[in-house]
């Protein structure tokens, strides 16, 4: 709903809470389903090649606990990739903050902003890193939130699965959490240490040219190619040179991608630069080639064509590039 909680988090819908549960455990009832209406919008590159993008419109179908508030702000999200999470967590906060350029002082048209979010463990506002709007500070808090909201069970960090949910949430607080502290620690360790797939075909001339095109078109202005992690208790995450292709900052991506739903300091037009490592393996791993926050893009080419706002110059450069250069760029992305 419009507004925010005392910690700056998005306000839940009065009945359904912060997340619509479209599945339920045996014996329970799902809260509803999301209906998606697609509109195909076709376009043409200057060289005549055609493309088509599908624009989604979302609504809640068959809500089971009464009507959804007409003032609700709906934002659809797909599950983000899980590789390299601990490495992203190990990038020192000061380096990310130093890379932000909220007032576009360097006048490159790109003003990366940090999100400041609530850390439940520290009870304080900290840098947001995870999620499509950088709304989560740590892998642990993201994991605990997913346990409650996606899976419906309790952890030592969040004993009440109805926390932040609407009044329709009827699971009462359990006497003891369903997951032990040890199991939660193991789960967080696992989530932090899922390895990033190695880039392939790096000697292929098209892939090599595409790596340069990526920089030349201005993609790397947001999709930062290289970071060095700081100290981490896990040796494999500590002091590593990594290539996540993200600045972990928020960018206005234009009307086309705007969801109109703020999250902490992220506006309804801003998204966190999506990491691109492992991009070429995404379909193999998940079975889908859906990209962008709501999965509307059917592969990397459509994802680029949806870029707007601060990324307009890069998108325009891609559209205007010779067909061979576009193919090289896509070969590079497919090899990540
Ligand atoms: C102004 C910053 C910015 C620039 C410049 C930019 N991007 Fe992005 N990119 C983003 C953001 C933010 C997202 C996430 C948008 C969303 O989910 O709606 C994204 C998402 C993507 C995705 C989808 C990744 C996924 O996991 O869904 C791809 C692929 C991508 N960008 C490639 C590129 C390429 C190639 C270029 C250069 C032509 C480029 N981007 C330029 C900010 C930028």
Query: Which pLDDT tens digit goes with each residue over 16-65?
Result: 999 999 988 888 899 999 999 999 999 999 999 999 999 999 999 999 99
Closest CA to 80 of 265, 286, 219: 286
- C-alpha 173/C-alpha 183 separation (Å) is 19
286-295 per-position pLDDT tens digit: 899 999 999 9
The confidence score (pLDDT) of residue 157 equals 87
**pLDDT band at residue 81, thresholds of 50, 70 and 90?**
very high
**pLDDT band at residue 315, thresholds of 50, 70 and 90?**
very high
Query: Is the predicted pLDDT of residue 152 greater than 90, yes or no?
Result: no
The confidence score (pLDDT) of residue 108 equals 87
**Ligand 1 centroid to 257 CA: how many Å?**
11
CB atoms within 10 A of CB 226: 10
Query: Is the predicted pLDDT of residue 153 greater than 90, yes or no?
Result: no
Query: Is the predicted pLDDT of residue 150 greater than 80, yes or no?
Result: yes
Closest CA to 215 of 82, 65, 317: 317
Following CA atoms 226, 228, 229, 234 in sequence, which dihedral angle do they give, to the nearest 10 degrees?
100
- Asked if residues 331 and 206 have their Cβ atoms less than 8 Å apart, the reply is yes
**Ligand 1 centroid to 156 CA: how many Å?**
36
Q: Which two tokens stand for residue 44?
A: 């043409």
Average pLDDT over residues 102-122: 92
**Ligand 1 centroid to 216 CA: how many Å?**
15
The confidence score (pLDDT) of residue 172 equals 58
> Whose Cα sits closest to atom 11 in ligand 1?
273
- C-alpha 8/C-alpha 265 separation (Å) is 8
Query: Ligand 1 pocket: which residues have CB below 6 Å?
Result: 110, 132, 217-219, 221-223, 251, 253, 257, 271, 273-274, 276, 291-293, 300, 303-304, 307, 310-311, 314, 318, 329, 333
- C-alpha 195/C-alpha 277 separation (Å) is 11
Task: Please report, for residues 105, 194, 311, the alpha-carbon distance to residue 108 in angstroms, rounded to integers and kept in the order given.
Answer: 8, 35, 11
How confident is the prediction for the chain on average, in pLDDT?
Answer: 94
Average pLDDT over residues 239-262: 98
CB atoms within 10 A of CB 172: 9
CB atoms within 10 A of CB 124: 11
Q: For a substitution probing ligand 1, which of 223, 268, 301 has the most ligand atoms within 8 Å of its CB?
A: 223
Count CA atoms closer than 13 A to 190's CA, side-chain side.
Answer: 7
State what percent of residues in the chain have pLDDT above 90.
Answer: 85
- Asked if residues 218 and 317 have their Cβ atoms less than 8 Å apart, the reply is yes
Residue reference for tokens 């190990």: 90
- Asked if residues 199 and 299 have their Cβ atoms less than 8 Å apart, the reply is no
């Amino acid at each position: 709903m419009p507004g925010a909680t005392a910690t700056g988090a998005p306000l839940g819908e009065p009945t359904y809470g912060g997340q619509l549960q479209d599945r339920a455990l045996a014996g329970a009832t799902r809260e509803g389903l999301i209906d998606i209406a697609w509109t195909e919008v076709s376009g043409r590159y200057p060289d005549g090649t055609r493309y088509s993008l599908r624009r989604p419109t979302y609504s809640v179908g068959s809500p089971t606990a009464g009507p959804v508030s007409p003032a609700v702000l709906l934002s659809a999200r797909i599950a983000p990739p899980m590789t390299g999470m601990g490495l992203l967590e190990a990038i020192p906060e000061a380096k990310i903050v130093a890379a932000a350029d909220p007032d576009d002082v360097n006048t490159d048209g790109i003003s990366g902003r940090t999100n400041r979010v609530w850390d439940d463990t520290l009870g304080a506002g900290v840098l947001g890193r995870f999620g499509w709007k950088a709304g989560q500070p740590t892998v642990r808090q993201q994991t605990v939130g997913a346990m409650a909201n996606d899976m419906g069970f309790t952890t030592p960090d969040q004993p009440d699965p109805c926390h932040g949910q609407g009044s329709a949430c009827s699971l009462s607080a359990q006497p003891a959490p369903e997951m032990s502290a040890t199991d939660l620690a193991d789960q967080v360790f696992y989530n932090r240490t899922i390895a990033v797939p190695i880039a392939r075909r790096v000697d292929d001339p098209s892939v090599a040219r595409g790596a340069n095109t990526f920089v030349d078109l201005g993609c790397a202005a947001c999709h930062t190619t290289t970071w060095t992690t700081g100290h981490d208790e896990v040796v494999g995450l500590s002091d590593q040179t990594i290539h996540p292709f993200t600045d972990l900052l928020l960018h206005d991506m234009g009307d086309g991608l705007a969801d109109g739903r703020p999250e902490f300091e992220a506006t309804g037009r801003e998204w966190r630069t999506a990491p691109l490592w492992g991009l070429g393996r995404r379909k193999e791993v998940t079975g889908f080639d859906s990209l962008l926050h709501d999965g509307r893009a059917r592969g990397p080419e459509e994802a680029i064509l949806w870029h707007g706002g601060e990324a307009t110059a890069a998108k325009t450069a891609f559209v205007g590039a010779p067909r061979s250069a576009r193919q090289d760029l896509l070969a590079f992305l497919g090899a990540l």
